[in-house]
Structure 1
Amino acid sequence: MSDWKFDVPTTGSKHLPPDPRYVEALSSQGYGFEVAIADLVDNAIDAGAKDVVIHFLRDGDRLVSLLVVDDGHGMDEEALDIAMTVGGRRDYASGALGMFGTGLKSASLSHADAVTVVSTTKRTRAVGRRWLMKHARAGFQCDIVDPSYAQSLIDRYDNNRPIQWQGTVVRWDGVKDFPKHGGSGQTDRHLQRTINKLGLHLGLHLHRFLARDDFNITIAVEDVRTRTVYLDFGVEPLDPFGYPVTGNADYPRRFATDMPGTTAGLTFEAHVWPPKSNLDEYRAVGTVLDRQGFYFYRNDRLVQAGGWNNFRQPEQHLSLARVAVDLPSAPNDVFRLTVKKSGVETSPEFIEGLEKATDAGGRLFTQYLTDADTVYREARKRSGTTRKPVIGPGRGVAPEVRVTIEEELPLLPFEEPISIVWQKLETDLFFQLDRDNRAVVLNQHYRRAILGGRSGSLNDAPLLKSLMYLLLHRAFEKEYSGSREKDNLQLWQSILVSAARSELDRVADHDG
């Protein structure tokens, strides 16, 4: 007879409260900046907000704070204490976007040294609480905000900007992503990059809300001394299924399947994008391998954009395939949402259900994948070219350039990409091939001239690096270089060194 016990016997229990360092762990969950802001907007939506303003505040060239302001129903003192408690217990309404009671704190303290929340309702005065990271570490000490300051912060956004009678302000200070020094236009460049990415992320993940007539998100930049508003624009919805004409006349098509672990089974809608689309709705999600697959929604909020969840491997020929899945509202064992609401984990039952899923006419879901593959391949044939697979670009090449290359050229599978990096080389070399590390090394000596005197970054000189990739990627697809290829490399080396030295002279003359 087996001695295995299927249940572990116990003799009692004891209370083990978390160490204050738990807050540090909570704030180290890898929240991206855009994901963290989206979490705060989720809270505003749950509070019934119609208008949300994401406000970057600057003092001259220095970014000082970031605020997320909403006109939701607000919180009284008791509700605010619950909201600021780590894992605070609250009952989420049906259809709410919040889940775990940690998003406000973990999202904020992942990116800021301090988070202040001030709120008012139609019936209660303004109240505020502040988590300072060093106080949180010392023993979950949450500061009480002076009521007069709490009211002044609310007043700053009253009179429909956006608060009228009620609302909440979340303020971040000591934001880790902000430039420490704002000279030479660094702050302006940072804001341009950050706001562009943030607008795309919010426009995509909250597109169903933004498509409504009664909900808006505004991103604004203001100087705190002069109250001058430098930027003020509304976030536009980016529907990942918003193609003007379908890529296949048989789609979109709705499929259904029974799935163990869910009470009502699952229905989902399969789409085929038209080939060669340049719309942001198509291109906003990563590379062609990232943007294909399942788009999971929870209560109308996009929580995963692309990916096949172990159903199959991504491949270029399926780049037009997107499947919209609205997650069941009832608790189930098949889908588990990550704390950051930026991904969905699925059980093996999901794969099993997909394999037997059919539409109303009995067509299998697996046929949809074949159809999407066919649309892509036929579009390639019509273009009259068959391009050879290549090793893709990697580190040092701007993400938007990588996306375009991966869309235009089929990639060799399971190959490490080609990096393009700057290093010190002899001045008679413009570049060098590092086959061991699969990298094109550019001569650091010429970097300033190539950049026109500007400071460099990881993905700088996108035009030069794109040309170098196109010139040299074939050299990594064979183990040895023949005499003709070696002669070409030497030819390119000589011409590029001459051109780079000419650029150096021009920069020296300009500086002189």
Structure 2
Amino acid sequence: MPLSASGGWEYDVPTSGSRRLPPDAGYAKALTNQGYGFEAAIADLIDNSIDAEADTAIVLFLRAADRIVSLLVLDNGLGMDGKSLDDAMTVGRRRKYGRHALGMYGTGLKAASLSQARSLTVISRTRKTRPVGRKLTAEGIEDGFRCDTVDEGFAHEQISSYSSLIGQQGTIVRWDRVRAFETIAPGQSDQFLSKANSQLERHLGLYLHRFLTRGLRLDIAVRDVIADEETDHINVVPLDPFGYRVPGSPGYPRKYKAPVEGVGRVDLEAHIWPAKSNLGGFRQIGPVHERQGFYFYRNDRLVQAGGWSNLRAPESHLSLARVAVDLPENGSEVFSLTVKKDGVQVTPAFTDAVEQATDTAGHSFRAFLADAEAAYREGASRSAIERPAVIEPGKGFDPKVKRAVREELRIKSGEEPLRIDWVSLPADQFFELDRDGNAILLNKAFRDDFNDGRRGGANDAPVTKTLLYLLLQDCFGLGRWERKRADRIDYWNTILLASVHAQRERRNRIGY
């Protein structure tokens, strides 16, 4: 029927009934193809831990010799009973979130997990209930969204195994048949874990930095289930994208008010970094030119790290400019958050408002951009000593050492991190270089001498290892092995061997 001149286009389309159309089993492929990266998927699980009021969470890689077999995320939050766990594992079910919750859509646990693994198991316990568990697999979803009940004995055993963390309540999320793990070539597990842990540490340190600053303890660990020992442990520290010590321009940060249509005034906190900063919050979160622009937060969780959101294109002379924006509660019509919580789509109402934003002194947002450009040009004109690029320290080095190296020196791109390990070596060797495997190997016969006779952990003897790293890192990534360099390694080895024997004799003389 043609529209009338009176404007029939105004009316809603009429309906004559309705029917329920449950999702087809093929929805499983859509669920597992949300475009999650490995780090973003794990961050989504940590969000659930924070919502459950956990103050401690651990990302735990389980390995069996050279195979990585599973990944666990453990927390000491409130836990879930059987009914709550059923709700959490139901595909498409949305629960009621508190106003400060990090969860939004009710799909994160399932979509994040099944984007990485073909099997998701959740085991949980509250203070008042017994451990319960549910298992969801890609095959189960295809089979009519089937969710399996975990054996009670296994659930209890798993909770008991990690009782030192979970205590009386908490949750274990377990990934099995992880796609990334199944594609690791033989002999490459150490390199994979070193790189994966470094990237995961940076991602979690950045996107959860406000929670880490307030006391959330978040660790990344690797455990060999055959040797029954922990082989690596990292304490994630805040990576604050606004964590400079002195601003790059006087009078900053400045707070601007942007009058967003339909939302009201939105606060913009504008920052200018000091030029050529080596701090982690500036250089370690990705290419500097990509990290200029808006940093959107939702309930203190970073959900977009940089980008001008269609306000302007990124430019090198604005690389010092960053703006923190806390998303308003009533802004869903203007700010649309991705399911993965790694980006925000904005309408022109926001960018138009930014153009009009001013601070209490009347400074315009354009003035901020001009100040940021001036700080960049002034910094570029200053001469600076060019520090050498180094291979990044990896497994076996204390996380504090790794962070200090990343902050003080440039990291060579395309190189596997350099690991350091205690192994069996001839008695006349203190160390050996495995140049093909990118490793410094230390004689484990001397390990007790550097740990006061106690059993050392994965990152023990930090001073000794760091000094060796500084001496030896430039011996890797080379083509031709020069005789002069080989001779230097030989006499360093001989002198260090003499020093460790001298240290051992001294300990024996004074009786400790």
Aligned to 1:219: 220
Contact 1:309-1:345 at 8 Å conserved across structures: yes
Letter paired with 2:261: P
Give the ranges of 4+ consecutive aligned residues of structure 1 lying more than 6 Å apart after TM superposition.
Answer: 451-455
**1:27 CA displacement:** 1.0
Distance 2:43 2:235 in 1: 15
CA distance in 1, matches of 2:384, 2:117: 53
Which residue of the partner structure matches residue 319 of structure 1? 319
Report the CA distance shift for 1:41/1:96 in structure 2 as closer, same or farther (over 3 A).
same
Do structure 1's residue 352 and structure 2's residue 352 form an aligned pair?
A: yes
Give the equivalent residue in structure 2 for 1:267. Answer: 267
TM-score scaled to structure 1, two decimals?
0.74
Q: Residues 51 and 452 from structure 1, CA distance in 2 versus in 1: closer, same or farther, beyond 3 angstroms?
A: closer
Q: Kindly provide the CA deviation profile for residues 267-322 of structure 1, in whole angstroms up to 9, marking residues without a partner as x.
A: 11000000011111101232222100000000000000000000000000000000
Give the distance between the partners of 1:326 and 1:18, measured in 2 at CA. Answer: 35
Note if contact 1:179-1:187 (Cα within 8 Å) is conserved in structure 2. no
Report the CA distance between 1:259 and its aligned residue.
Answer: 1.1
- % identity of equivalent residues: 51
Q: 2:159 is matched with which residue: 151, 154, 159?
A: 154
**In 2, Cα distance between the equivalents of 1:350 and 1:198?**
32
Structure 2 gaps of 5+ residues are 386-405, 415-433, 439-477, 482-512
* Aligned mates of 2:340, 2:228 — CA distance in 1: 34
In structure 2, the partner of 1:50 is 55
- CA-atom RMSD in angstroms: 2.5
Residue matched to 2:488: none
CA contact (8 A) 1:179 1:190 kept: no
| TM value normalised by structure 2 | 0.74
2:9 aligns with: 5
Equivalent in the alignment of 1:36: 41
Query: How far apart are the structure 1 equivalents of 2:183 and 2:307?
Result: 36
Q: Is the 8 A contact 1:62 1:182 kept in 2?
A: no
Change (3 A) 1:384 1:166: closer
Q: CA offset at residue 150 of structure 1?
A: 0.7
SS in 1 for 2:155: helix
Q: Does 1:177 align with 2:176?
A: no
Residue 202 in structure 1 maps to residue 207 in structure 2? no
Counting matched residue pairs gives: 395
- Aligned partner of 2:197: which letter? I
Written as runs of structure 1 = structure 2, the 5 A alignment for 1:373-388 is 373-383=373-383
Deviation at 1:384, TM superposition (A): 9.5
Aligned-partner Cα distance in 2 for 1:84–1:353: 41
Question: What is residue 302 of structure 2 aligned with on the other side?
Answer: 302
Distance 2:36 2:384 in 1: 44
Aligned residue type for 2:32: S
The offset of 1:452, in angstroms, is: 7.3
Contact 2:133–2:151, Cα closer than 8 Å, also in 1? yes
Q: Secondary structure at the match of 1:56?
A: strand
**Cα distance in 1 between the residues matched to 2:183 and 2:200:** 20
Query: Partner of 2:380: helix, strand, or coil?
Result: helix
| Offset at residue 4 of structure 1 (A) | 5.1
Q: Please give the per-residue CA displacement for 1:81-118, whole angstroms capped at 9, x wherever unaligned.
A: 00001121311112000000000000000000100000
Give the SS at the match of 2:109. helix
1:449-496, CA deviations, whole angstroms, 9 ceiling, x for partnerless residues?
Answer: xx97679xxxxxxxxxxxxxxxxxxxxxxxxxxxxxxxxxxxxxxxxx
* Unmatched 5+ stretches in structure 1: 386-402, 408-419, 421-450, 456-498, 504-512
Change (3 A) 1:107 1:376: same
Deviations, residues 45-86 of structure 1 (Å, cap 9, x unaligned): 000001001100000110000000000000000000000011
**Is contact 2:256-2:269 (8 Å) kept?**
yes
Does 2:279 align with 1:279?
yes
Query: What is the SS of the residue equivalent to 2:134?
Result: strand
Query: 1:378, CA displacement in angstroms?
Result: 1.6
Using a 3 Å threshold, how does the CA distance of structure 1 residues 14 and 235 change in structure 2: closer, same or farther? same
Supply the distance in 2 between the matched residues of 1:134 and 1:368 (Cα, whole angstroms). Answer: 54
